[in-house]
Structure 1
Amino acid sequence: MPASPPPPPGYYVPAVLFFDENEELDVPNIKAHVLRLAQGGVTGILVQGSNGEAQHLSHEERKQAIALTRQTLDENGFQNVLVIAGTGAQSTRETKKLCVDAKEAGASHALVLTPSTWPPQMTVENVLRFHREVADGSPIPTMIYNFPVVTAGQDLDSDILSTLAEHPNIVGTKLSCGNIGKLQRLTTRFPSSEFAVYAGRSDAFLHGLNAGSAGTIAALVNLVPKLHGKLYKLFQEGKHLEAMVLQGKLGQGDWAASKVGGIGGIKAVISRNFGYGTPSVRGPLKAVNLDNFADNKYYRTLLELIEMEKAL
C-alpha cells in the first residue's frame, strides 16, 4: 500500500484559468468556473494541467491559483472536492519546489510531467530517477502525467509506469496518450486503491472504465461536467448500452473541442454559453473569436452537448 492513498475514482477536470484583458488572473471568473464545475459534480479539480497554462505562470501565480480553487470550494460547501496541482517543471529541483508550494496552497496530490527540454537525455534511467526523486521530495503524493504531445513525444510505456508505481509516494497516472492497452496492463497489475489509473481524454472515458480505470481527467469536463457524471452513473448502474451511446457523443465532443482553437477556444465556448470569463490567453497562445464560428461543424457539436448539459 502507498504511504498516502491515491485520489478516489471519479471524473476530474483540468480547469482552464481565466485572465482579464491585461492577462492578469481574473479572480471572479476563476471562482465562477470552479463553482460551476463543483456544482456539476466533479470529483476533483486539476489546477495547472495542460489546460491551465501552467508554463505561462510565475511560481506565485501558480500558488495563488491553487489556493483560490481550494478557497472557492471550501467557501461553497465543496470541501469533499479534491484539488490536484500540476507541478511539472524542467528541473528536478524546481518540480520539488512546486510540489511544496502545492501542498502549502491546499492541493492533496501533485501531477508531474516528465521534463521535455532535453529528450535525448531522458533515458529510461533518467525518467525513473526524476520521478522517484520528485516523489521523495514531495510532501504530497505524486502522480505521473503521460502526455506525449507536451513532453516532446516522450511516451512512458507500461513497464516504466509499473516500475514507478512501486514507489510509496507515487500513487497514480493520467494517460493522455489515450492508450487503452497500456491502461489495462496497469489496472490488471495494481488496484485503484494503490495506484489509480485515469484516462486523460473523454473519448476514452467509458473504455477506460471497462478496462478497470479509476475514471478520467479530461479537458471536455470544463464544458459538460454533468454529462460526464451521467456517463459515470450509467456505468456504475450497469446500463452499458445507454453509457455507450453517451460515450459516443462525448467522443465527438472531445474531437470537436480540440478543433475550436485549443485552450482559447474552450474559454471562448465557456464565455459565450455560460456567461462568465473571457477568451483571453497568454501569448504565444491566441484568443478565439466565436463570431467566426457560425458555420463551424465542431462548434455545433459542442453546442449540442452544452444543450444536453443544461437540460440535466
Structure 2
Amino acid sequence: MSKPAPPPFGVYVPAVLFYDQNEELDENAIKQHVLRLAQGGVKGILVQGSNGEAQFLTHEERKTAIRITREALDQNGFKDTLVVAGTGAQSTKETIKLCKDAAEAGAAYVLVLTPSTWPKQMTTANIVRFFHAVADESPIPVMVYNFPTVTAGIDLDSDAIIAIAQHPRIVGTKLSCGNIGKLQRLTSALSPDEFAAFPGKSDVFLQGLISHSAGVIGALPNIAPKAHTQLLKLYKEGNLEEAVKLQALLGQSDWELGRLGSIAGIKAIVLTHFGYGSPYVKAPLAPLEAEKVTLKKLGDLIALEKSL
C-alpha cells in the first residue's frame, strides 16, 4: 500500500480560538482570524493544537471549531488551504473517536499527541502500538505530535518516530521539542514524499528549512503569518542574508510571546493590534489584560507584518 501524501510544504499555524465571556465559541471572531491567516499565505490551519486549548473543549466544541474553520476557508476562496485537527487523547479509543469526528467535520489530517497519564508505562513499544492502532482506524492520515511540555516530559526520539512512521497512514510529525538534530535525522532517514517533518517553533524556522523540514507549524504565525511566508520566499530565492535577519526577529519574538503566555498573549495582541477577537480563555487559564502587555521585538514584528 502506498502512503497518502504528507501535508505540503509551507507555513502552518495552530490557531487560537476565540470565546465570549461565557466561554462559548465566538464564531465570527474565529472566522475573522482564520481568514487573516489564510490571506497571510499560510498553507494550513491547525485546529485544536495546544494553542487551540484542545484539552479544555468538549467533543462537540472540537467538531464545531473544525467545521467553522473549514467553512470560513471554503466560503472565501481558500479551498486549497488545509485543515489539520489535533486529536490527541489519553486512550486509544477516544483518540480514534476524535479522528473520526475530525474527518467528518472537514479536516484533511490529524495531529496526535503521545498519551501521558502514566508516563512510566509509555515505553517505546507501547507508544508505537498506540500510534499504529490509531492510524489503522483513522479515516484521514495521521501525524505525530511530539511536545514534551504537555506530555509529562515524554520526548520521542528519532528512532521512535522512524518506527512509528513505518505505518502506511502516518505521514508526518510536528516537533515542538525544537530539536533540529532530531529533525535532520528524520529528514535524512525518511522520504519527504512520504513523511513531512515540521519544527513546532518559529525560533528554529530557518534552521529547520536548512535541515530539509517541510516548513513550520508554530504559534507565532497567529500574529504574523505574512512575515513567516516572507521568510519562506527569501529562503527559496537563496537570499540567506535577509532570511537570517528575519529569522532573528522571529526568534526574539517567539521567545517574547512565550514569556507572555502564548495563548493569552496571542489573543491580547490580536485584539489590540488587529482589531478583532477577545481576551477570554478557558478556565483555569487566565486572560491577559491588553493594557498590561508591553511589546519589544513583537512590536517590531507587528509593524513588519502590517507593512507586507
Q: TM-score range by the shorter chain?
A: over 0.9
Distance in 2 (CA, whole Å) between partners of 1:59 and 1:36 is 26
Asked whether the equivalents of residues 63 and 105 of structure 1 are also in contact (C-alpha less than 8 Å), the reply is yes
Aligned partner of 2:142 in structure 1 is: 142
Asked whether the equivalents of residues 2 and 167 of structure 1 are also in contact (C-alpha less than 8 Å), the reply is no
Aligned partner of 1:53 in structure 2 is: 53
Name the aligned partner's letter for residue 145 of structure 1: Y
Name the aligned partner's letter for residue 260 of structure 2: V
Matched, 1:233 2:233: yes
Asked whether the equivalents of residues 7 and 196 of structure 2 are also in contact (C-alpha less than 8 Å), the reply is yes
Structure 2 unmatched runs, 5+: none
Q: Deviation string for 1:247-285 (max 9, x for gaps)?
A: 010000100110113311110111100000011001110
How many residue pairs were aligned? 308
The alpha carbon displacement at 1:286 in A equals: 0.5
Aligned partner of 1:185 in structure 2 is: 185
The alpha carbon displacement at 1:290 in A equals: 2.0
Name the aligned partner's letter for residue 115 of structure 2: P
Distance in 2 (CA, whole Å) between partners of 1:113 and 1:69 is 21
Please give the residue correspondences for 1:283-298 in structure 2 after superposition, counting only pairs within 5 Å.
283-293=283-293, 296=294
Name the aligned partner's letter for residue 252 of structure 1: Q
Helix, strand or coil at the partner of 1:174: strand
Name the aligned partner's letter for residue 311 of structure 1: S
Q: Work out the percentage of aligned pairs sharing the same amino acid.
A: 61
Residue from 300, 304, 310 that aligns with 2:296: 300
Aligned partner of 1:210 in structure 2 is: 210
Please give the residue correspondences for 1:57-72 in structure 2 after superposition, counting only pairs within 5 Å.
57-72=57-72
Q: Deviation string for 1:66-92 (max 9, x for gaps)?
A: 011000000000001000000000100
Please give the residue correspondences for 1:108-119 in structure 2 after superposition, counting only pairs within 5 Å.
108-119=108-119
The alpha carbon displacement at 1:2 in A equals: 4.4
Matched, 1:89 2:85: no
Asked whether the equivalents of residues 83 and 106 of structure 1 are also in contact (C-alpha less than 8 Å), the reply is yes
Asked whether the equivalents of residues 219 and 262 of structure 2 are also in contact (C-alpha less than 8 Å), the reply is no
Name the aligned partner's letter for residue 301 of structure 2: L
Matched, 1:309 2:267: no
Q: Deviation string for 1:82-140 (max 9, x for gaps)?
A: 00000000100000000000000000000000011111111111101111100111000
Helix, strand or coil at the partner of 1:259: helix
Structure 1 unmatched runs, 5+: none
Aligned partner of 2:79 in structure 1 is: 79
TM-score (norm 2): 0.99
Helix, strand or coil at the partner of 1:205: helix
Distance in 2 (CA, whole Å) between partners of 1:192 and 1:289 is 43
Helix, strand or coil at the partner of 1:304: helix
Helix, strand or coil at the partner of 1:117: coil
Matched, 1:22 2:18: no
TM-score (norm 1): 0.97
Aligned partner of 1:243 in structure 2 is: 243
Distance in 2 (CA, whole Å) between partners of 1:3 and 1:302 is 40
Asked whether the equivalents of residues 2 and 171 of structure 1 are also in contact (C-alpha less than 8 Å), the reply is no
Aligned partner of 2:168 in structure 1 is: 168
